[in-house]
Every structure is written in C-alpha cells, then in structure tokens.
Amino acid sequence: MTGLSICHASSLPRFARCARAASAVEFAMLLPLFLVLVAGIVVFGAYLTMVHGVQQLAAEAARSSVAGLSETERTSLAENYVTTNAGSYPLLQPGHLTMSAATSGGGVFVVTVNYDASDSIIFTLPFVPAPPSTIVRSAAIPFGGF
C-alpha cells in the first residue's frame, strides 16, 4: 500500500492523540482576533492623539491670551496661537479647526477649539464603533488675582 492508507478503526485513537498541527490550528483561529485587537488599539490611539492635540491647542491658546488687556485682544491672541501652531500637532489638519473665545461669568476667559475629524481614516473602518466626528475641547483661564 501507499503512504495514504484507508482509515481503520485502530488508527482513529492514534489520530486523536496526534498534536503536531494543534499549534497551527490555534494560530489560524487566533490570528484574526489578534489583528483586529491590534488594529483597534492603533485606530483609537490615533483618535485619542487627535483629542489630546485639540485639548492642548485650547489650553495653550488660553494661556497665550493672558497677555491681552481687552476681550478683543485676548481673542486675537488665542486665534493667532491656534493658527500659528495647529500644524505642529500630529494628525490634526489645520483647515479643520475652528476656535471661539469669550469671557464667561466670574472673570474667566474660555477658549473653545472644535475639530472636524470626519475625514480621518477612523470613520471609514466598518468594524469599529465610530467615536464622535467632531472633537470639542475648552480651556478656561481666570483673569489676574487682583
């Protein structure tokens, strides 16, 4: 007979004990799950990088507005900071940023930065629940302690 024999009743227990291909089967079963997990970590890491960048822009714009003497000057300083530095933040496209600033009650100047992330690759993937496509972050800075 050739190397391929007809399966006999006596060879079935021997086949059940054979574990030569078990690791290959386990690998084939777990690889897709592992790749989806890694892709999810990368995608949501990119989203959190964008969120952090928008928050940092708002915080730094609020800090730079302290030098202004009027609300108009503070707003101008904050807008200038966002316009000048938006390109230095990873994964943020400066054209998708908008900023607003105003004095809130109690002598606090609030800078709000909006980012439209709808063009990001995160929102093209079908297998992950999409986070909000508009990222909005604010930073408040009180007027001097006088």
What is the model's pTM? 0.76
- Those residues with Cβ within 8 angstroms of residue 58's Cβ, 6 or more apart along the chain or in another chain: 111, 112, 113, 137, 138, 139
| Residue recorded with tokens 């079963």 | 29
Reported as a pLDDT band with limits 50, 70 and 90, residue 128 is low
Read off the pLDDT of each residue in 107-127 and give the average, rounded to a whole number.
Answer: 87
DSSP characters over 3-60:
SS----TTHHHHHHH--TTHHHHHHHHHHHHHHHHHHHHHHHHHHHHHHHHHHHHHHH
pLDDT tens-digit series, residues 8-17: 556 666 656 6
CA distance 39 to 37: 5
Reported as a pLDDT band with limits 50, 70 and 90, residue 127 is low
Q: Check whether 65 has a pLDDT greater than 80.
A: yes
